[in-house]
Chains A and B, each alone.
Chain A
Amino acid sequence: MDSINKKGILMTLGMVFVSLTILAFANVILNNSETSESRIKEFAETERLYNLDRSLSSSISRIMKYPLNNTHKISFDGNVIDFKTEFQNITENPEVEIMRQINITNERLKKQAYVNFSKNYPLFGKNGNIVIDSSLGNPNSTVFYVDQNKSIFVEYVSYPANMIFLAGINEGNVKKINFTYKSDFMEPLLILANMSEVFSGACANCIEFVFNNYYLGSLINRTSYNISSTDTPPSLSALPFGIPFGFVQFFDLRVAAPTWINENRTLAINWVNLTYLLTSDAEEGLAITLPDVLVYNLADPVKTFDFAYYGYGDPAVKRLIGDTKIELQIFLEGDALKHEGTLVGPLSYSIDIPLLDTSGEGLRIEYIDQG
């Protein structure tokens, strides 16, 4: 009797032990399969996000490559940023068209791919820091950051402002800027340099600024100056016209056209400091504008950065005639061989989580630290 009881207990214990062993194995397999399944889903989801991001980046690159070649073109080779554009009326139609198409795309993507261009439009986004006279409001602009140093960017403000803003440049990161003006309609005349801010002689710590002005295919003049960002007066009261933000005139390039009787118009190259605005993307840098920056909205002087010709209040007169090709070559400091960066757009769209950064040229993915 005792022997039978012991055998029964042993058998029961044995079965419990075997069961527990199988249970333990099953648990391990269960955890493993669950982990494996979730990893596969994560992998598949990452693949989806990656392809979505790459296809959108590629699409933006193609929009820049084809339609925007008519309006502006930018490249970064070695340590030279090359930016070309035309200051002309005809850029208006393609730019407005692209803006509309991006608006439509934004609405459609929000519904279908959980993609939202809410951060900023990759092309012709609204500039929050600048106002182009009260009737036009904030202009549309396209920003190209230098990849390895996002404090430097080229901002192209589209028609009718016609402005190129070279932000974040200084004597420490840029050694030379080649400025080329070419027109068959508006003849470049005098270069008026503000000699209290600009040097024509030697300067130990300056950016060399070289004018190359062409008219009807012929070089009219080539002049070199030295400029320095530290020349910006720190005192607001010292600014011209009592304008309460950092604005210093460097050069005025007077241009004339046969149809303008006794009138010259001006392409201005000024130092503009927007850092007092305390917005995250406000910078100081060189602003190249046609027409000149001279008129300010006194009702809201802090945030206004108006454009008009000298003495021409009629908006219709602001229209340019013909086309003017502007090319800027910005030579960065340092060894060209060590510059392998690219130009990238600002954070422009989100695809659920994580947020993704898109590249203007080429394809790149960057997960944004949400902090």
Chain B
Amino acid sequence: MKFKKGIIFSLDGAIAVTVVLIMLINTTYYFTTTSKESLSQTQIIKRGYDVLAMFDYFEQLDNVMRVITPSDDFVPNTTINGLNVSNYLPNGYEMTVFLDDARKTACGGCVLDSANAITALFNIEGLNEGGNLYFQVNAQLTAQTTTNPSFSVRHNGIDYALTGVCLTGACTYTTTSPITGLISGSGNQIQFVRDGSNDFTINWFRVLDDSGYTLSTATTAPDDRFIGTGERWYAAFDSNGHFEGLHRARFSVWIA
């Protein structure tokens, strides 16, 4: 009888201890979770949004898109003609800015005139995702003979029309529909086709919305702490004030 009571008592105690332990583990877990997703982390994100808003407000995002050249692998982080995050970021913070659609592929010797109705084939730089994507091209109208001069982009035998061509300076145009069937990697080739009467010099081109054409400021984010992220869209204009579309800027921000 005594022996049985002892067992029951021990079992009872063990169950009670187990319940208490489960409670303690849960409590500890949620304590940890609460402190991990704290308001202070949203404050870090807010700092990132503020910096990006300042760049946008002072039209630096738009400006740097024009300044980037085909030879740039990073977004310049200079105060003039660049994105210098330390101008706006409090001490102790670090930040990387990613500009989608910022990379440019040079089109050396891309001339459309009476002797060149169609250009040679050009490789599109490595795409990460591919798919059906819009395409932008920057060109200079060198000789105008019609009211609305234009040219088109050819991919896989299909010609894609571009948005309206501005009449002075070098302007940036977008295909009016996405180029279909772009594959990931560097196996995509395009040509430029003359409209029959106007002459152009093509400076550069790029594919929109593929991460292969995203550039960032050089800073690399660490992997041992919280990284806040966010995004913003901004209107971009070419050097003639010609509206060429909206682009996305993203950021990663952390405490150094």
Contact = CB atoms under 8 A, between A and B. Distances in A.
Interface stretch (A37-45, A142-150, A209-217, A242-250): A37-45
Interface string B163-204: 110100000001010100000000000000000000000000
B233 interface: yes
B5 interface: yes
A58 to B, nearest CB: 6
B12 A12 contact: yes
Contacts of A30: 26-27, 30
B42 A109 contact: no
A97 B244 CA distance: 9
A128 interface: no
A18 B27 contact: no
B243 A51 contact: no
Contact of B53 (A23, A54, A66): A54
Contacts of B244: 101
A40 B37 contact: yes
Contacts of B56: 55, 58
A63 B235 contact: yes
Interface in B132-185: 134, 148, 163-164, 166, 174, 176, 178
Contacts of A100: 163-164, 174, 176
B73 interface: no
A207 B54 CA distance: 45
B230 A47 contact: yes
A222 interface: no
B98 interface: no
B246 A108 contact: yes
Contacts of A54: 53
Contacts of B242: 67, 97
Given A47-B42, A101-B163, A112-B209, A33 B234 contact: no
B38 interface: yes
Contacts of B241: 66-67
Interface residues of A, number: 52
A52 B52 CA distance: 12
Interface residues of B, number: 53
B31 interface: yes
Contact of A97 (B37, B243, B248): B243
A92 to B, nearest CB: 9
Given A59-B233, A66-B243, A29 B30 contact: yes
Nearest to A70: B241
A312 interface: no
Nearest to B19: A19
A15 interface: yes
B33 A98 contact: no
B176 A19 contact: no
B39 interface: yes
A25 interface: yes
A259 B60 CA distance: 48
Interface string B203-227: 0000011000000000000000000
Nearest to A36: B34
Interface of A: 5, 8, 11-12, 15-16, 18-19, 22-23, 25-26, 29-30, 32-34, 36-37, 40-41, 43-44, 47-48, 51-52, 54-56, 58-60, 62-63, 66-67, 93, 96-98, 100-101, 103-105, 107-109, 111-113
9 contacts: A19-B16, A44-B45, A52-B233, A58-B57, A66-B237, A100-B163, A101-B174, A104-B245, A105-B246
Top 10 A-B pairs, shortest CB-CB distance: A59-B235, A15-B16, A33-B34, A97-B164, A33-B30, A55-B232, A26-B27, A22-B23, A62-B235, A100-B163
